[in-house]
Structure 1
Amino acid sequence: MPTTDLASGDSRARPAWVRRAFESDSVEPDLDRVRRVGARFLGLGFIGYPVVSAASILASASLTDAWWPPLSILLSVGPGILLIAATFRPGTAWLTPLALTSWVGYVLGLVLWFVAWNGTTLADPGDSAQWMVAFCGMPSMVLMLVRPRLAVVALIASSTLAHLSQQLGRFGEVTSDAPMEVMWSLMFTGVFLAVVLVATRTGRELDETREETYRTAANVAAASAREVEKERFDAIVHDRVIASLLAVRPGRPDDRLATQAASALEELARVPGSDGPDAATDVEVIRRIRSAAADVSERFDVEVVVGETGGDADGHDVGSGTATYPAEALDAVVEAMSEALRNVVRHAGDDAECAVIVRFAPDSLSMAVVDNGVGFDPETVAVGRLGIAVSIRGRLARLPGGHARVQSRPGRGTTVQILWERP
């Protein structure tokens, strides 16, 4: 079943296998995409250059010992294969070591040329004595994807070594043309390095823009939620409190009026304010969840189960009204659940059934919003659709100990798992 990333506000406390299995492998998806495509393209270059340089390799083979040509080919093709293979792995943490490997392999091939050179020169100095000079900027382009400054240093070193070996193989000595050849190589390859640098910076800017969009959307959603809560408070005061006060008559109190007043007070107590409680009991949590679900639609079923231990760290029974949960965690969990339920109303279909399963444990509060609606493919959700990204995963990601996961398949319904664990 397709699964989106698990968002966590405090991944340091989570086992490594949990992070690998559930958490997003990068907070910069566009930059990673640029790096991945660039590494794949450059890997093909490392493999392709020996093929197109076959004539040059054969022509210059007489200048070196027999072991150098196949070794130089291996030092080119090997990193290329590794680069291409690694692009099919998650993340891009592998790119820096492989970029360094490709550059070290290239420099090693150049250095070994001086060892393998037998002192002879080409009959025609116009030919190429060192086939590796043709792609002296390739390792630097790979480094430019991750380490721009090091890429410049690598280009200078690679170009210098490559053209020195080229000079020795052609003329038997380093001529006055060597500095110009090195300079021309630097200028020519520098254009391609600049293109790579611009591409990576563009990817990073796209990621920063997306993150800023998420933050703005979250702030707007928070302001909207406060306005909705204020309107709800005003409605409770008008419809419940004032109505109860106006119903008071001289004489013996009416039991129904007492029940109505108690209900109004409970409703007021659950409305968070600027000076609201820092924690909520499990009874209040249950009431808040049921009320929030009913606010979206009366047709949603809410089922509450208790964890295996049935108590919190202080020995209180969960469900007794003595176990407490942070108000911040309750707000985030309830709001995420409400967004999931609103998505059911909007997208699951008129005939879809939905249930909310809430589970209490000593140090955690979790729920699953399950529907049998039309479902969808999470991989095809457009980047601009912020409901799941901001209101569910993003909200839980900002909460210490919060996690969210969405599972769905076209025609098979949707399950939204929401979890808060005490840090």
Structure 2
Amino acid sequence: MPVEGVGIREAWSKIPSPGSIETGSERFTSKRMERILAIVVAVGSTVLGAQALIAALTTLSEADFAHVGMLVLVFAPLAAMLVACVLGRGVRTASGLFAVGYLIALILWPVVVNPNHKVAAQQPWIFFLVNVGVVAAMLAFPLWLQFVWAACMPFVYGYVRLVQGDFSNEFWVTTGFDVSFTLILGLVIIALGWMFRSVAAGVDDVRGRTVSSYAAAAAATAAEEERVAMSALMHDSVLAALIAAERAETPRAQTLAVSMAREALTRLANTDAGVAEEGSDEPVAVGQIVIELRRALSELGADAIVEQRGDAGHLPGRVARALVLAARQALGNAVTHAAGRGLHVVVIGDGDDGTTVVISDNGPGFDPEAIGADRLGIRASIFARMAGVAGTAEIDSNSTGTVVTLGWSRA
């Protein structure tokens, strides 16, 4: 197969089945937008927080324990929020703690910090963090509460300032300006956050629908290709083998019919592997079968042991290949339908006279007769494959588990 064909097939196999798209990958843009918002909030809050901290330290007086407690109440959650935004972990929790802690500090402000401070023109340091509390609410709360927070926080600040200034005319003018500024800015911040998140969610939704549609188209195309290949195989090989068997009257014709039937069964079993040949008939050691099955378990991510018993001998190459491929199909079924519970593989050698492979699991079991006629996982990949090399395949399944026995004997 050309290199380009291999690349296309590998890429095609990466397309998820319809309905199997993981939520994490489906919401990629929304997660990326949340990360961007957290970084922007961290940068802006750092600047405003540093400005507020400098203003607070310049007004801090000795033995003012209440003011120190207020600083701890505000800046400790703020520092935690900044660290969480930078690291991208615990952003919602840390932001919520700061938003609530800042609101409590704002309410306590006129009682705890400088209750006799009557200078209206000098804004207190806590003013610089009003909109930081709003962006914290944007990261932590649902949309309706974000707008409530953005609308109420400036008025809480304004009421606190008016209480501190005994509702004097001078305080009404400066406080009204501060409230209007923070109110407009806070509502704009919340609106922008809502808009960016809505755009990201829309991109994710369109992406999810596009991938689902593409996956459905890919599945339909693969099914059609398989149908065409199966129809050609049935016409070229299976029907020819049946006609040859019907007309075989001499020993030579019967031998030819058997050979044609074996080739047809092999091609039918190997349709899922993309090959139609039996492979080399050079002798293969039973130990190589064990190695191949261990490799198959590793590729499937299954935790099981391949046990080897009996006398290790050699098998014809095509027989060993059929045993490995049929066993791989049984292992895949056990991992898919039984989650690999109690998976156990035993390879029993009888010298050069034959080999038996037993795959068992403790899954819920199934009824082999109830499998649809269009499902070739068992009929073609196991039964037809073993029949193509004159081997045997048995499936014993009930509510306690499933046992698949594959065998070949030189006799």
**TM superposition score category, shorter chain reference:** 0.5 to 0.7
Alignment of 1:236-315 (within 5 A): 236-248=233-245, 249-252=247-250, 253-265=253-265, 267-268=267-268, 291-292=272-273, 294=275, 303-305=292-294, 307-308=304-305
TM-score (norm 1): 0.55
Q: Give the Å deviation of 1:131.
A: 1.8
Q: Give the Å deviation of 1:295.
A: 7.2
Task: Look up the match of 2:133.
Answer: 139
Determine which of 214, 218, 224 is the counterpart of 1:217: 214
Structure 1 counterpart SS, 2:293: strand
Change (3 A) 1:65 1:220: farther
For 1:247 and 1:117, the matched residues in 2 are separated by 103
Q: Give the Å deviation of 1:54.
A: 5.4
Change (3 A) 1:49 1:222: same
Q: Give the Å deviation of 1:143.
A: 2.6
For 2:201 and 2:329, the matched residues in 1 are separated by 48
For 1:37 and 1:216, the matched residues in 2 are separated by 29
Task: Look up the match of 1:66.
Answer: 64
Is the CA contact (8 Å cut-off) linking 2:30 and 2:200 kept in structure 1? yes
Change (3 A) 1:250 1:148: closer
**1:22-44 CA deviation, whole Å, 9 max, x = no partner?**
x9967522212221222233234
For 1:40 and 1:244, the matched residues in 2 are separated by 70
For 2:138 and 2:66, the matched residues in 1 are separated by 28
Task: Look up the match of 1:166.
Answer: 161
- Structure with greater helix percent: 2
TM-score (norm 2): 0.56
Is the CA contact (8 Å cut-off) linking 1:39 and 1:142 kept in structure 2? no
Q: Give the Å deviation of 1:244.
A: 2.2
Q: Give the Å deviation of 1:227.
A: 1.3
Q: Give the Å deviation of 1:101.
A: 0.7
Alignment of 1:15-30 (within 5 A): 27-30=26-29
Change (3 A) 1:213 1:158: same
Change (3 A) 1:202 1:75: farther
For 1:225 and 1:80, the matched residues in 2 are separated by 55
Structure 2 counterpart SS, 1:135: helix
Task: Look up the match of 1:154.
Answer: 149
Which structure has the bigger radius of gyration?
2
For 2:17 and 2:77, the matched residues in 1 are separated by 35
RMSD: 4.5
Q: Is residue 118 of structure 2 the alignment partner of residue 122 of structure 1? A: yes
Is the CA contact (8 Å cut-off) linking 2:42 and 2:85 kept in structure 1? no
**1:54-86 CA deviation, whole Å, 9 max, x = no partner?**
564367557x98234444444443334323433
Is the CA contact (8 Å cut-off) linking 1:65 and 1:117 kept in structure 2? no
Is the CA contact (8 Å cut-off) linking 2:74 and 2:102 kept in structure 1? yes
For 2:129 and 2:248, the matched residues in 1 are separated by 98
Matched to 1:362, the amino acid is D
Task: Look up the match of 1:206.
Answer: 203
Structure 1 counterpart SS, 2:64: coil
Is the CA contact (8 Å cut-off) linking 2:66 and 2:112 kept in structure 1? yes
Is the CA contact (8 Å cut-off) linking 2:33 and 2:200 kept in structure 1? yes
Structure 1: gaps spanning 5 or more residues = 1-6, 12-22, 271-286, 311-317, 331-358, 365-421
Is the CA contact (8 Å cut-off) linking 1:155 and 1:186 kept in structure 2? yes
Q: Give the Å deviation of 1:116.
A: 0.8
Q: Which has the higher contact order (CA 8 A, sep 6+)?
A: 1
Q: Give the Å deviation of 1:323.
A: 6.3
Change (3 A) 1:89 1:138: closer
Q: Give the Å deviation of 1:9.
A: 12
Structure 2 counterpart SS, 1:254: helix
Q: Give the Å deviation of 1:132.
A: 1.6
